[in-house]
Structure 1
Amino acid sequence: MAHAVLFCIILSLSPGTGIAAEPLSTNDDKIGYFTPATQPDATAYLPPPPQPGTARQMVDDQAFTSTRMLKGSRRWALATSDADLHEDALLRSFSCAAGFTINSANLPHLTALIHRMDVSETTDMRKSKSYWHRARPFVGNGQPICTEDDREHLATSGSYPSGHTMLGWSTALVLAELLPQQATQILQRGRVFGESRIICGVHWESDVQAGYMLGAAEIAAMHGSPDFRADMEQARAELAAQQHNTARPRKRTCALEQDAARHSPL
């Protein structure tokens, strides 16, 4: 019965059936906002991940251990939904915070902006993961994660920094700028999106903290691109035209997100 309830919750959160974590795509068909001269280097500006036996690693260990008991809970279901990085799912996850359903099909300029952001950020994120190549918290212990189908892939992918957190937080920053009247709610949802990676058991707490820093740094640097600024203005106009002509998000989903915000694992 518990599994059936959890499945229903996940379906109510996700716009489709593909709820497993979607690795950030290579997006080779699109050019990012950075040039070689403007591409940030996170291996230089991020601090290194915690080392075994340090106080910082003990904090990471405690966060991982304490959140394993959330398996099967509503918060676990939200973390599972947040693992989907398809652009439509990512944008819809901010619907409650925005106050209206964000449907990528009706917002092509916003969707293209988020896609190109992904392209731009992924280079720095992947370089950082490869540079530190930190093992994920579930490796070697068999503890549950919320996207079991991705366990094998994730075990070979560096944990530090969190790419999901980077993209979620950078999306929150952009939406907060485009919808300033909803900035607080959007930024709160961006924080919860990152925390879902801790709940999911696929990232250490420090991975997520670094992901917030990474996303903020990337967006700050992107503002130096004329193409980024122009795309932001197109997305702003598009959102202004759509936000009053679309369905409201599910109250149940919004209540779950608010509960998650009140019970941070950090």
Structure 2
Amino acid sequence: MSIWFETLVQGRCFEWYLPERWATLNSEQIETVRTRAQKAICPLKPADFSTRAPKGFLFNAKRTDAGRTLPPYYLVYFLLVDLLGFTNLGQFEKVAWSVPVEYDGRPFLVEHRKFGLGVFAANVPEDEEAAAEIVRLIHKATKAAQPYFDWRAEQAAKASQLNVVNRSPDLFERLNFYLDLYDDRQQEAEGRKDERIVNHLSDMSYTVAFPVSIGVQTGPPIGAQKGPPLKDGATVEERSLRCARRREGGARPETRAAQSILIPACGGISCGS
């Protein structure tokens, strides 16, 4: 069964999607995947002591627009740090992890900050074109490294680094929302069960309507009936509630609640001929 799971790597928590069919790789196959990913990401490389960067670059680098289209942060982390061995500068204020890279002789940062993953540069917007190329290379390498990600997920599932993500609170909150909505409609129906809307058309005829649904009714009154009592034995209230059910949707609980309250409480009404 496909599930989401979280795994801890270097003290950080990452949420992954675990496929139904896991890949099993040996060391030789892992090296093959690493070589393919390395070729795919070239000429992007880790920054080193020979990389020239302006003073204060680590703290003053600005987010690029191109960096907003990177793959999910956990895939980028496992690609750069775990598989390809890029240096992770670690955590500091509002930064979960930071990987300095070099492209075309210029320094860049691939960082997961407070507002998400991105590519950061010293000169924005001058470096936007280079940042877009970095994003393209990372996407290309991520596809090449997919077997490694599946293998990594398998290893985490076999070890104690696996936690099933419980998403039921969101569903439970949604259920409670609709239950509260149902209770509100039911209380309104109870409070308005004796309400009638009578519209005199002439001295000999009139219409009667029963506001059973929440909100202000637009258009003609629902369930309005002219003339003598209905010959099929149904009262005006029952016919109006049928109309309300068609308009509101027969499966809606608030409509059924209004019907169960109004029909027992109302008797037949004879109208003038």
TM-score, L = length of structure 2:
0.24
Larger radius of gyration: 2
Structure (1 or 2) with the greater helix fraction: 1
**Structure with larger RCO (C-alpha < 8 A, sep 6+):** 1
